[in-house]
Amino acid sequence: MRTGLEALVALDSQPSLEPAGMIFHLSRCESTLVSRLLGTLPGVVVVAEPGPLNALLGLDPGRVGEAELVRVVRLLVRALGRCRHGDERRLVLKCTSWNIRRRPIVAAAFPETPWIWVQRDPARVVASLLAKPPGWLGLQAAPERAARRLGLDPAAVPTMGREEFGARALGAMLEAAATDSAQRLCIDHADLPAAVWQRVAPHFGLDADAAAIERMVEESRFYAKDPAARVFAGDEPERRPMTDAMRQAAQRFAEPGYRALASRG
């Protein structure tokens, strides 16, 4: 089922929430945990990586004007944030990792919305990506799409090893995150989960009293994407086999951007 532009325009006249905050992330850095903990706050609605938004941001810029895309993205997010039950108070939008490359569109749609960038040691991310590849890693087989979505040289993409392709993609995401410092807060995986109630919630203007923090502490004991209850203990349980090729690719193509953003907090 598809929702046309006319339907989005009609929905825009109904009560809706604009994002109180947005979550962008490097991939495999527990951004899902961040969104899940925020979703335990009373009245907070979290919309996580919506497919329609990915479809819009993945459009060829040559096929749609920027102003029109900004307009449709705004309509879509407001439709996703429509008040349905009457107890919704604040909306948090969690974007897909590669969406950071199209952040100017989202920022233009909601210029007053603060955002966070969640990142992690790139070598750990590369190891996790190669152990369990996400969909975007398959773009190496489609160089033109990889160029459009990740900003990589389409002529060079087929010649890259998987480690280099993954690390270069992470480097492109980090570069995009670094270009927009307005209202940005950088959060490292190593500082989770406490950073959610200590830094993220205040940055988004979300109230977190002692009872709310206690709920988040309890919820943070488990991994966000594990179907079985498995205690979250930082990096240790998530260690993946790491080769020299992974380390070298991450160090060359992603580590500088990671360190630069880490120094900005």
Query: What integer pLDDT is reported at residue 100 of this predicted model?
Result: 98
Q: 236: which 2 tokens?
A: 């240790």
Collapsed DSSP state (helix, strand, coil) of residue 169? helix
**The predicted structure's pLDDT at residue 83:** 77
Residue 91 pairs in a beta bridge with: 19, 45
Q: At what angle do helices 122-131 and 244-253 cross, to 10 degrees?
A: 130
DSSP state of 96: P
| Per-residue pLDDT at 32 | 95
Q: In the β-sheet with 44-48, what is the strand arrangement from edge to edge?
A: 44-48, 90-94, 19-25, 115-119, 184-188
Q: Residue 104 has what pLDDT?
A: 97
pLDDT of residue 16: 82
Structure confidence at residue 223 (pLDDT)? 65
In the block, tokens 């989960």 appear at: 193
pLDDT at 7: 67
Nearest C-alpha neighbor of 37 from the set 253, 169, 212, 263: 212
Q: What is the pTM of this model?
A: 0.90
Predicted pLDDT of residue 153: 96
Of 125, 115, 252, the residue nearest 182 (C-alpha): 115
Question: What pLDDT is recorded for position 239?
Answer: 61
16 forms beta bridges with 82
Q: How would you write the pLDDT of the chain (265 residues) with one tens digit per residue?
A: 355 666 666 666 666 889 999 999 999 999 999 999 999 999 999 999 999 999 999 998 888 899 999 999 999 999 998 877 667 899 999 999 999 999 999 999 999 999 999 999 999 999 999 999 999 999 999 999 999 999 999 999 999 999 999 999 999 999 999 999 999 999 999 999 999 999 999 999 999 999 999 999 999 987 666 545 455 555 554 566 899 999 999 999 999 999 999 988 6
